[in-house]
Amino acid sequence: MQQVTVYSTKNCPYCRMAKAFLDKNNVPYATIDVGEDAEAAKKMVALSGQRGVPVITVNDEVIIGFDSQRLNALFGNAEISQQCDVLIVGAGPAGLTAGVYCARKMLKTVMISENIGGQALESWAIENYMGYRMVTGEDLMKKFEEQARSLNIRLELDGVEVITREQDSFTIKTATGATHSATSIILAQGNHPNNLGVSGAEKYLGRGLSICSTCDGPLYRGKRVAVVGGGNSALQTAVEMSGIAASVSLIVRTSIRADEVYLDLLKSKPSITIHMPAQISALQGDGFLTGITLRDEKSTEQTLQIDGLFVEIGWQPNTRMVKDLVTLNERGEVAIDINCHTSVPGIFAAGDVTSVRGKQIIIAAGEGAKAALEAHDYVMRNRRPDS
């Protein structure tokens, strides 16, 4: 029998999804909270060379992160599906809401996503979603997921590689080799974080450089960290890390562009050191990140000794798989009209991947509902008499 261990932290959504995947496939495993157990964290780092979660060991194999493709290869079943009415790409606020509306319209619905919850998972605290005074991104997305799973929706943890149009339907091929056919598609695959843009950054990812503070933050308890960015996410991360880390430096390139509520929170944390205007010009370390070089507007440089760097400098749309299929705008977002129609009949889009200006959870959810209703109308008009 394979020996499986999941190294995780309490609030890490990707750790939860890894465990859910193993549970779904009846794979027994041990779980270790490295956010609470410092010795276990040291063991995880020694095994994986990573200061980031999840880390999954399968016998002698070490899997870094929630690698759905590798887990599917080891434990999953990449079966070929039958024709569905609607295939939804992405399972964030827009995709999950679209799924609920499609299911309620009695459409045969398949949802494919590399994670469940999308960008919303990484929010420490959400205070502007109706019905909640305050809720974490993980808890809110759990509610979305629970409602979607209570309906007749097939949800596959996989990645979409190619979408092609063939007469009156679309063919979708995934990273695990599965093929799906759908009458209509809803694109709701969200965004991915911007790269730091500093030479050598890739080698420090998971080794002091993190793009998910809710996942990796507990591993930096009592350590020196920096947060780069000047928006809401950066300020929220800096404030939350000030209660965990020994010191927090906020690196802002030009100016802070955040809502007043986050500015007030920042002012309430005098322990956070703000470097502005400043940009990171170099990274230092031997295996793990140990320092960053900052450059100001006069090209004067200084070095900060740190243990961790959290990157919160914005997002780019996940449109690689559809760049030759639908029209994109100048920012690479899927161009849609007021009713979520793309340039291709039968393909609709919703959420942060689209040209809609407001990138908010509540807006994404509403757009997901609109896209589902439009997809339903399209399927009804194009459904074969015998289907």
Q: For residue 59, what pLDDT is reported? A: 95
Cβ atoms of residues 95 and 89 within 8 Å: yes
Q: For residue 250, what pLDDT is reported? A: 98
Residue range 7-22: mean pLDDT, rounded: 88
pLDDT in tens, 68-104: 889 988 987 655 566 899 999 999 999 999 999 999 9
pLDDT in tens, 177-226: 889 999 999 999 999 999 999 999 999 999 999 999 989 999 999 999 99
- Model's pTM, two decimal places? 0.88
Residue 46's domain comprises 4-75
Domain assignment present for 387? no
Domain assignment present for 369? yes
Cβ atoms of residues 205 and 289 within 8 Å: no
Domain assignment present for 11? yes
Q: Are residues 328 and 305 in the same domain?
A: no
Cβ atoms of residues 384 and 170 within 8 Å: no
pLDDT in tens, 102-134: 999 999 999 999 889 998 988 888 989 999 999
- Chain centroid to Cα 322, Å, comes to 19
Q: Which of 80-84, 332-336, 354-358 has the lowest mean pLDDT?
A: 80-84
Q: How confident is the model at residue 169 (pLDDT cuts 50, 70, 90)?
A: very high
Most confident of 122-136, 145-159, 321-335: 321-335
Q: Are residues 143 and 276 in the same domain?
A: no
Q: Are residues 175 and 271 in the same domain?
A: no
Q: Which of 125-134, 320-329, 338-347 has the lowest mean pLDDT?
A: 125-134
Domain-terminating residue out of 44, 75, 106: 75
Cα 137-139-142 angle, rounded to 5 deg: 105
Domain assignment present for 330? yes
Q: Are residues 241 and 278 in the same domain?
A: yes
Q: How confident is the model at residue 10 (pLDDT cuts 50, 70, 90)?
A: confident
Cα separation, 269 vs 240, in Å, equals 10
Q: For residue 205, what pLDDT is reported? A: 94
Q: Is the peptide bond before 270 cis (omega within 30 degrees of 0)?
A: no
DSSP 96-111: HHHHHHHHHTT--EEE
Cα separation, 105 vs 127, in Å, equals 31
Cβ atoms of residues 190 and 126 within 8 Å: no
Residue range 371-382: mean pLDDT, rounded: 97
Total domains in the chain come to: 3
Q: Any bridge partners for residue 55, and if so which?
A: 7, 64
Residue range 225-241: mean pLDDT, rounded: 96
Which residues are annotated as catalytic? 212, 215-216
Domain-terminating residue out of 12, 42, 75: 75
Q: Are residues 301 and 330 in the same domain?
A: no
